[in-house]
Chains A and B, each alone.
Chain A
């Protein structure tokens, strides 16, 4: 009878062991099972020792084979568990990481030195012109303002790249394509197509702006340009700078200085004239003077100045039309030339100066900049392409000030607003809400009238705007702006162009 009990007990434990050796068990399950087996082994040993009949073998010196077998199985399970953990740990050291998150899709090597990230953005706008009395009437319309899919990444820890085409706005262009080599934070080299380091608002992320469209100062800078830029970052006294990309608004102080083809005001990357060797030099200094000073109210204050110089030579590519901000309608149109002028060219020194600043504190935000852009223009004969008018010095200027407030209390930053909770109507979560106001003014030199018809350019545009932003989550934002612009000039016979009242909305998704 005692032998029968013993056999039954052994059979039961063997059955349990068989179950526990299933290979699909996870490490945690194995731990739990080992614990259970050890407990049962102890119980078995206690029961055997408590029952002299069971523990009295025919040869007392020989260990019980059942206990020995169980002991081996427990040890094997324990060791398998150890080895599995060692292998998992070792594999984790070399396994690349695939991450799919609200920041996009990224692949990163185990050591973090190499990565590739896929990103994208869509901006769908609707524009409506209210009380439109212009002739011809402005078109109410839906615009696909931005449709981008891009790849950025890093190799060998210090070599970053970005390739970003844009399929929006009715055209296809390569917006950014550069390599940034940054072994030293104080001296990194960015080569390729990139934003020219001038306008503060232009340098803000294309999806981070408070308003649908940038204000007038941006339109007196070139947009993106091909060139080479040296840039560096410095930490606050006693602190180290951390690499924050080729456009850095995170560190204490930064500089950017580069040589570019030269885009002209509101120009792009392809404005360089064939056969022209003159290049544009542009630079910018930026500092957060109170960063980590302990004065919280001023921690987010940033001030800077940027400037550029170029010497174009009868270059028509560098003379681009200027538009209203929200309405995106032409207000300086270099095709509406006076009689006897075939086209307008930039000819001679062109320089700009851009003082700029922002301040962010808690839910409050302020940003402003001023630009003075001075260039020499000349009217060219339609046939000979030779100067047909006296040269004029066109001194243009623009400024803007904008203020914003996050109603839901999140931090207001230059890099947009991150809602504390994502919009989820089923859980009563509403994302983040932001209100903003802006005043912006553009002044165009009246001497432009020597080249353009009076209906071809305004000499002043003053615009005030209000904006509302609903951040549904870190990726999606619904925007609504209203802007009213009054003009000096811009109509036939020197009359003022009718006021422009524009209401526009945008649904934007960026990852």
Chain B
């Protein structure tokens, strides 16, 4: 399909979506992070059908995607999100703290601390793994070019950084060694994109780098879309568990009269249908029993650790590593 045809289809699809929204009784805005586009496109279709069947109401779900931090700032600055489906809990905490749009205990309102699915960080390498990258310490070797986005703007990049840090701290003992390791790693990063999708473009479309530190779901999607003949996934022995939270934005739903719809929308993520869909889009469902076995089989086996286990809390991580003059600012010289 050439570009003109794609454009025609895109215009047609946009028209249909707009028409759909215009016909809907109510609309819901889901503000999410970069790589969840495809998941929520499918999920929204299923949910609207489910809701129509249950209540008879026609609803339209709108999506907004971007770097997780940037999306959180947009909500704080006035973007009326009914629901948030972001990459890290810290970003929703910020919305609760600064804009007071939802209570501070928002995580307790849905099962599993409001985390319906998870992911992790893996390596996406060129076919045949020419640089023989198998573990985190391979990333700091001379001549290895690593692609990862900027952790100050991307939630995924923060997981990349923290996974590498946790490895180094355990492997070499202590913060100083970890800091030196991270410094070396970022010396091997030729381009610092602002979001995960940008980094994927850098690696796949622009052909830059030997390894992309990627969301597991992004890596599996890349294999699916590009075929297995150009890139392959390498799972390190251990990586970080990316707990991606969801929340209803109380102030907005109360104002717009969408509370029941927003709650049903997020609860649907926990249903067998929602869990199955998450796995289909390469997110690890919290209830794997509801997913297709073939989808679950795609997830590599690796040791997973959480932010809480290794770093205490996102708040502490943010202050120490990613705030202005934090460790990242100290070690990264563009």
Contact B192 A83 (CB under 8 A): yes
Q: Are B206 and A90 in contact (CB under 8 A)?
A: no
Main secondary structure of the interface of B (DSSP, over half): loop
Q: Tell me the bound Cα distance from A83 to B206 in angstroms.
A: 12
Q: When the two chains form their complex, are residues B191 and A80 in contact, meaning their CB atoms are under 8 A apart?
A: yes
Instruction: Give bound CA distance, A72 to B209, whole Å.
Output: 8
Q: Specify which of A72, A76, A83, A86 lies most central, judged by the most chain B CB atoms within 10 Å of its CB.
A: A83
CB closest residue in chain A, given B70:
A90
A79's partner among B191, B194, B334 (CB-CB below 8 A) is: B191
Give the interface SS of chain A, mostly helix, strand, loop or mixed: helix
The answer to whether A493 has its CB under 8 Å from any CB of chain B is no
On whether the beta carbons of B192 and A79 are closer than 8 Å, the reply is no
Assess whether B145 is in contact with A75, with CB atoms less than 8 Å apart: no
> Chain B contacts of A79 at CB under 8 A?
190-191, 202, 206, 208
Say whether A76 contacts B198, CB under 8 Å: no
The listed residue (B145, B198, B334) touching A72 by CB distance below 8 A is B145
Decide if A86 touches B194 in the complex (CB within 8 Å).
yes
B interface footprint on A87-101 (CB within 8 Å = 1, 0 otherwise) = 100100000000000
Assess the B194–A80 pair: CB atoms within 8 A. no
A residues near B206, Cβ cutoff 8 Å:
75, 78-79
Q: Which of B193, B194, B207 has a CB less than 8 Å from the CB of A75?
A: B207
A232 to B145, CA, bound (A): 63
Task: Give bound CA distance, A193 to B159, whole Å.
Answer: 57
Report which of A23, A72, A78, A83 forms a contact with B194, defined as CB distance below 8 A. A83
- The reply to whether A75 and B192 contact each other, CB–CB distance below 8 Å, is no
A83 to chain B: which residues have CB within 8 Å? 191-194, 198, 202
Residues of A within 8 A of B208 (CB): 72, 75-76, 79
Interface pair B191/A87, CB less than 8 Å apart: no
CB distance from A209 to the nearest CB of B (A): 43
Q: Encode B206-233 as 1/0 by CB contact (under 8 A) with A.
A: 1110000000000000000000000000
Distance between Cα atoms of A80 and B334 in the complex (Å): 11
Given contacts A75-B207, A76-B208, contact A87 B334 (CB under 8 A): no
Which residues of A lie under 8 Å from residue B191 when comparing CB positions?
Answer: 76, 79-80, 83
A87 contacts B194, CB within 8 Å?
yes
| Binary contact track B170-214/A, C-beta < 8 Å → 1, others 0 | 000000000000000000001111100010001000111000000
**What's the nearest-Cβ distance from chain A to residue B153, in Å?**
9
Within 8 A of B (CB), among A343-358: none
Residues of B within 8 A of A86 (CB): 194, 198
Distance to closest chain A CB from B248 (angstroms): 27
What's the Cα separation between A149 and B216 when bound, in Å?
Answer: 61
- Among B191, B202, B207, chain A packs the most CB atoms within 10 A around the CB of B191
Residues of B within 8 A of A90 (CB): 194
- Which residues of A have CB within 8 Å of B145? 72
A83–B191 alpha-carbon span in the complex (Å): 8
In the complex, chain B residues whose CB is within 8 Å of the CB of A76: 190-191, 208
- A-side contacts of B194, CB under 8 Å: 83, 86-87, 90
When distances are taken between beta carbons in the complex, the residues of chain A under 8 Å from B193 are 83
Chain B residues in 8 Å Cβ range of A80: 190-191
B292 → chain A closest CB, angstroms: 37
Chain A residue at minimal CB-CB distance from B77: A94
B207: which A residues are within 8 A, CB to CB? 75
Q: Smallest CB–CB gap between B113 and chain A, Å?
A: 32
When C-beta atoms are compared, the residue in chain A nearest to B145 turns out to be: A72
Q: In whole Å, how far is B191's beta carbon from the nearest beta carbon of chain A?
A: 5
Q: What B residues does A75 contact at CB under 8 A?
A: 206-208
Q: Which of A75, A76, A79, A83 has the most CB of B within 10 A?
A: A79
* Interfacial chain B residues near A72, Cβ < 8 Å: 145, 208
Q: How far is the CA of A423 from the CA of B208 in the complex (A)?
A: 57
Interface string of A152-174 (1 = CB under 8 A from B): 00000000000000000000000
CB distance from B250 to the nearest CB of A (A): 24
Cα(A78)–Cα(B206), bound, Å = 9
In the assembled complex, the Cα of A76 lies from the Cα of B192 at a distance in Å of 11
Give A95-147 interface residues, CB cut-off 8 Å to B.
none
Bits for A61-89, please: 1 = Cβ < 8 Å to B, else 0.
00000000000100110111001001100
A83 to B194, CA, bound (A): 8
Specify the chain A residue showing the minimal Cβ separation from B207.
A75
Give A292 to B208 CA distance when docked, in angstroms. Answer: 59
- Bound together, the chains give a CA A76 to CA B191 distance in angstroms of 7
The CA of A72 and the CA of B191, in the complex, are separated in Å by: 12
Q: Identify the closest chain A residue to B333 (Cβ).
A: A23
A78 to B192, CA, bound (A): 13
Bound CA–CA A23/B334 (angstroms): 8
Q: Smallest Cβ distance from A110 to chain B, in angstroms?
A: 11
Across-interface contacts of A87 in B (CB, < 8 A): 194
Interface set of A (CB-CB < 8 Å, partner B): 23, 72, 75-76, 78-80, 83, 86-87, 90
Known: A72-B145, A75-B208, A83-B193. 16 other contacts (CB 8 A): A23-B334, A72-B208, A76-B190, A76-B191, A76-B208, A79-B190, A79-B191, A79-B202, A79-B206, A80-B190, A83-B192, A83-B198, A83-B202, A86-B194, A86-B198, A90-B194
| Shortest 3 CB-CB contacts between residues of A and residues of B | A76-B190, A79-B191, A79-B206
12 contacts between A and B (CB under 8 A): A23-B334, A72-B208, A75-B207, A76-B208, A79-B208, A80-B190, A83-B191, A83-B194, A83-B198, A83-B202, A86-B194, A87-B194
